[in-house]
Amino acid sequence: MREKLLNMWSVLKLPLIAVLVGFLVGAVCILAAGSNPVTAYVALFKGSLASIPSIGETLYKVTPILLTGLAAAIGFRCGLFNIGGEGQYVIAAISTVAAAWYFQWMPHFILVPFLLLIGIMAGGFWGGIAGILKAKMGINEVITTIMLNWTALYLSNYLVRTVLNPATILGSTPRGHSVIVPEVARLGKLRDVIPAFGFSSVHSGIFIALGVAVVMWFLLFKTTLGYEIRGVGLNHQAAEYGGISSAKNTFLAMFISGGLAGLAGSIQMLGLVYMVNQSTELPGYGFTGLSVALVGLSHPLGCIPAALLFGILENGSRQMQLAGIPKEITAIISAVILVFVAGSLLLKYGSNWYEKQKMKKQGLKQGSPVMDATTKGVE
């Protein structure tokens, strides 16, 4: 029992300490802004968890970042760094809105799954481009996914300005956003079933996201495909030697990763936003997804509490602002968490040093280094 607890601690200490440091640095910034950190954090958690509607609003924020977190996690598991979640999200969002408009004659229960599939395929296609370039030509996926992010953004802007603009389709005045997703294609709101959710925007997408997390856990740890993907991620040469195609699994992992980020875009469109705006900036869900995956140790089920944490931060910032504290604090906390996770070896050095001292005492040789939990993740 004690062994098991110790084991769990050695796995969980990295994200837990990272989060703690994030909040500490946040507290320093709050002090610098001349406010009381305790008041600020009370406001933060009150704003995101104190009532059923605010919990609902937090869950609404959790939905897309849980999916982009899962997207990043499956990439990490295959040794891939998909920072293209942004672009995959954008491409899926615009495809979903377009399809929702042109297929609105379909009945609701066929249309919604169809649109979600469109989103998955669009995001998967966008991720798959980087996947095939990596698999066939060894081109670094980090650079291609960054380039594809911005390509997607401008492509989406073009479509919003021309083909999908209300001016083109409905003949109204030109607008900075696309046509609006028709009623029949929208996901149900929880407040329509449970009135206690009040003003909150949480929709059925949260159940889809949670379901997908479980499916991804099953896929990664209980299927041959998952075994192969993890094999390639741990050591692609060894995997190749064992008869696992590293090219095939690299492509598949990028496709699935893109598909998940795409599903986030799709669900966000059908759940609340209902339209795509022209924008000069990337939406940011893909980057938050990276943080979610890292704090969740690239484990699909670990992504759930991690996404909840970032959802709380995002939703609570408004309440904090009402209490007179700059809302940027929460963004600083998130960034510091990421900085700390990136430097996870700081922790490793600490624990290695501790082990060394212990062993010196016992007169033993140095043991094996602590596993790199940053991207390799845990089982």
Q: Please give the residue ranges that form the binding site for another protein (CB under 8 A).
A: 29, 32-33, 81, 83, 133, 137, 139-140, 142-144, 146-151, 154-155, 157-158, 161-162, 280-282, 287, 290, 294, 326, 328-329, 331-332, 334-336, 338-339, 341-346, 349, 374-375
Between 85 and 265, CB nearer to another protein: 85
Provide the H-helix boundaries in the chain: 2-32, 37-49, 52-77, 85-102, 108-137, 141-161, 166-170, 190-193, 205-222, 224-234, 236-241, 246-268, 285-295, 303-322, 328-342, 345-362
Q: Decide if 286 contacts 68 (C-beta within 8 A).
A: yes
Which one, 121 or 294, has the nearer CB to another protein? 294
Least spacing, CB of residue 379 vs another protein, in Å: 20
Indicate the residue among 219 and 282 with the shorter CB distance to another protein: 282
Contact 170, 177 (CB under 8 A): no
CA distances (Å), origin 236, targets 76, 83, 107, 335: 13, 21, 46, 31
By the 8 A CB rule, do 43 and 322 touch? yes
Shortest distance (Å) from residue 247 CB to another protein: 16
Nearer to another protein, 173 or 280 (CB): 280
Structure tokens at 140: 């670094």
Are the CB atoms for 209 and 71 separated by under 8 Å? Answer: no
Report the alpha-carbon distance of residue 265 to residue 282 in Å, rounded: 12
Between 51 and 151, whose beta carbon lies closer to another protein? 151
Q: Which is nearer to another protein, 46 or 161 (CB)?
A: 161
Q: Are 285 and 27 in contact (CB under 8 A)?
A: no
Minimum Å gap between C-beta 33 and another protein is 6
Distance CA(344)–CA(58), nearest Å, equals 28
Least Å from the CB of residue 334 to another protein: 7
Rounded to whole angstroms, the Cα distance separating 264 from 69 reads 10
User: Which of residues 212 and 275 has its CB atom nearest to another protein in the complex?
Assistant: 275
Query: Considering the complex, what minimum distance in angstroms separates the CB of residue 81 from another protein?
Result: 5
CB of 125 to another protein, least distance (A): 15
Closest CB 110 distance from another protein, rounded Å:
33
